[in-house]
Amino acid sequence: MTIKDKVVVITGASSGIGKVTAEVLAKAGAKIVIGARREDRLASIANEFQDRQVLYQVTDVTDHQSVKRLVDLAETKFGRVDVLYNNAGLMPISRLADLKIDEWDRMIDVNIKGVLYGIAAVLPIMIKQKEGHIITTDSVAGHIVHPGTAVYAGTKYAIQAIMDGLRQEQINNHIKTTMVSPGTVDTELYHTISDEKTQQRVAKDEKENGLLLMDIANAVAYAIDQPDKVAVNEILLRPRTQKN
């Protein structure tokens, strides 16, 4: 079984990478269940695929039960869950001395706990199935730290540890893990940056130099569309012109 007919759950799917990935996988014949906080956007995506099976549910990844309900919807409707794509994330970068503690807390809740809650929701199902695939959006920031990215990068470094621990623990249950680690991408993430000058700088760089959303969606599709014995554990991709 390749992408066609696989049951895929995607968080953070109302815009950006999650939205485009859902569209790519749906066009390839997957059965998609998408979650995010913005119901109008989720409904709009589902309506694009009335001839295919695309379901949605309002989901807050900082709430374990909310994530579990999303995964349960997929299992109830389709009888299994083949892929979970933990995509929800925030990037309110700032220097530590700015003491934006509320933003730190929010990043930890979404970028780390959100991933853990996704794993917790889907792992019992995949263990029972004796197969599955858990994918998480990481970042080049999970490999390299720059001034202003310490907390954001810290959340992404944490994902590296969590996902590799998961990989090692679940080898005998035939559960694959993949981290997709993009460099600069033209997404809406810059909207989460509260400092106006930093937001404008990042937005300009993303729009002028960033990867396209389709580039990341294609990387996710590539990881899914591999033979059973092949596990693509990480895809690290940057714009050709990005140095770090």
Contact yes or no for 130/82 (Cβ under 8 A):
no
Q: What angle do CA 233, 237, 242 make, to 5 degrees?
A: 150
Neighbours of 148 (CB within 10 A): 17
Rg (C-alpha) for the chain, rounded Å, is: 17
Residue 58 sits at φ, ψ, to 5 deg, of: -60, 130
152 is an active site residue: yes
Least Cα distance to 126 among 244, 9, 35, 4 occurs for 9
For 30, 130, 200, 205, the CA distances from 60, given in Å and listed in that order, are 23, 28, 27, 29
- For residues 115, 20, 198, 62, the Cα torsion angle rounded to the nearest 10 degrees is -30
Helix 150-169, helix 114-129: angle, nearest 10:
10
Catalytic residue among 117, 152, 157, 190: 152
| Tokens representing residue 24 in the block | 């790519």
For 22, 91, 92, 181, the CA distances from 143, given in Å and listed in that order, are 26, 15, 18, 9
Catalytic sites, residue numbers: 152
